[in-house]
Structure 1
Amino acid sequence: MTIEWIISACLGVGLAACCGFRVFVPLLVASVATKLGVIGTMDGLEWISSWSALAVLSVATVFELGAYYIPWLDNLLDTVATPASIIAGTLLGTSFLQIDSPILDWGLGLMLGGGSAGLVQAGTSLLRLGSTATTGGIGNPVVATGENIASFGLSILTVLLPLFAFVVIVLVLLFVAARLLSRRKVWFTRAGRNQAGGTSPAQFPRSSNGRV
């Protein structure tokens, strides 16, 4: 394990996690960085350095960023963005890990890349649902703006300072995981209270011989 491999792995996992904020932004940043020569072209990800990929990713990013400012559409997009972010995260993670064994490469890519993207996406979806419930969707554009800034900022930071960005992203993942676990505990507590406060099933009257 060399320092180059560690940096490449941090780069892949960092960009993958950013897919949880926005699916196309990390891919766009990776495309621009490859074009500028900031990062090298990875095996299996050669297409991202093409002009056509840059154009398509730019258009897709603009549409994705704009769509999250439509209150009724943003929550709907989360249902599509969750699997899409996992796929994009797995692709980025696998491409930058560069492990000789395809099974191990894709397995770790799915766990580290897809898992981190899915975890971040779950956290942002929960935040948006909370904003919708408490503000009726009025506060959702603020949430969307924060996600856009985080996606661009962390993606660029990952490309420029992958080791430092990896530490930051790990802290973000730990925070999101803690929030999700706390919400899960609240949900189970409420479910238990509802069951405890419920009434027992209705009993049918029985005759003297024990038949209904």
Structure 2
Amino acid sequence: MGIMEIIGIAGSVSLLAGWRLYLCIFATGLAMRLDAIPIPEHLASLAVLENPWVMGIAAIGALAEFFADKVMWLDSAWDTVHTLIRPIGGALLALAIVDPSDPATQVVAFLLGGGASFLAHGGKASARAVVNTSPEPVSNAVVSTGEDIATVGLLWLAYEYPVAAAGVALVLLALVIGLLLVARRIIKRVFFRAPKTPTPQ
């Protein structure tokens, strides 16, 4: 596996961990246990994800996130709690993917993985804060379900087609940046709108 494929997988997994950390861990571990994902030798450190204890805790976290993320404002509270957890988890996942014999690459992967997860988390949290301004609760469930499906599908794509993983990472990065910009514009318009001055009689 070439350096571009490794960077692509690490970037994709880190970005997706910013959305759904527990789901990323559980889905990867389950796929490895079912031999659905052929993991190269130097990625053997990822084998810890198929440990029953790790999978069990990740499954509980993913289930809790599945329901919490579909309730208005509870999703934002959940995101706030995970502001530190997701970037660290994404950084550790990226660290497990790179070659352990190269300390410099590991440091770079850890920093970039954490940064990518934090960026994705920020985009998700901002987008959900905007969705929460909607008066009806259905939009939360729709957006959350879309994130669930996208996470599983893109994670499978990144592992199954390592060559395409770099492209997946770039698309995710563009999507996250777009979400941040849109959310910033809407939040600024909703919360920082200048009050109307009364017209003189």
TM over 0.5: yes
Cα shift at 1:147: 1.1
- Contact preservation (8 Å) 2:17, 2:89: yes
Larger Rg belongs to: 1
**Where do 5+ consecutive residues of structure 2 fail to align?**
none
Which residue of 2 is the match for residue 7 of structure 1? 5
- Contact preservation (8 Å) 1:8, 1:97: yes
Alpha-carbon distance change, 74 to 166 in structure 1, aligned in 2, over 3 angstroms = same
- Contact preservation (8 Å) 2:130, 2:187: no
Which residue of 2 is the match for residue 24 of structure 1? 22
- Contact preservation (8 Å) 1:14, 1:165: yes
Report the count of equivalent residues.
Answer: 192
Using the TM superposition, name which of 142-151 and 157-166 deviates more: 157-166
Which residue of 1 is the match for residue 160 of structure 2? 160
Which residue of 2 is the match for residue 210 of structure 1? none
After TM superposition, the structure 1 = structure 2 runs for residues 55-66 of structure 1, keeping only pairs within 5 Å, are 55-66=56-67
Specify the SS of the correspondent of 1:48.
Answer: helix
Cα shift at 1:175: 3.1
Cα shift at 1:47: 2.1
- Contact preservation (8 Å) 1:132, 1:138: no
Alpha-carbon distance change, 31 to 85 in structure 1, aligned in 2, over 3 angstroms = same
Distance 1:189 1:133 in 2: 12
Using the TM superposition, name which of 55-64 and 38-47 deviates more: 38-47
Specify the SS of the correspondent of 1:98.
Answer: coil
Q: CA RMSD in A?
A: 2.9
- Contact preservation (8 Å) 1:123, 1:180: yes
Which residue of 2 is the match for residue 71 of structure 1? 72
Which residue of 1 is the match for residue 98 of structure 2? 97
Cα shift at 1:182: 5.7
- Contact preservation (8 Å) 1:34, 1:49: yes
TM-score (norm 2): 0.80
**Where do 5+ consecutive residues of structure 1 fail to align?**
198-212
Distance 1:187 1:55 in 2: 38
Distance 2:111 2:136 in 1: 35
Distance 1:179 1:46 in 2: 33
Cα shift at 1:83: 1.7
TM-score (norm 1): 0.76
Deviation string for 1:116-156 (max 9, x for gaps)?
22212111111111111133544211111111111111111
Alpha-carbon distance change, 108 to 30 in structure 1, aligned in 2, over 3 angstroms = same
Percent of aligned pairs with the same residue?
Answer: 24
**Whose relative contact order is higher, 1 or 2, with alpha carbons under 8 Å and at least 6 apart?**
2
Cα shift at 1:90: 0.2
Which residue of 2 is the match for residue 208 of structure 1? none
- Contact preservation (8 Å) 1:78, 1:125: yes
Specify the SS of the correspondent of 1:82.
Answer: coil
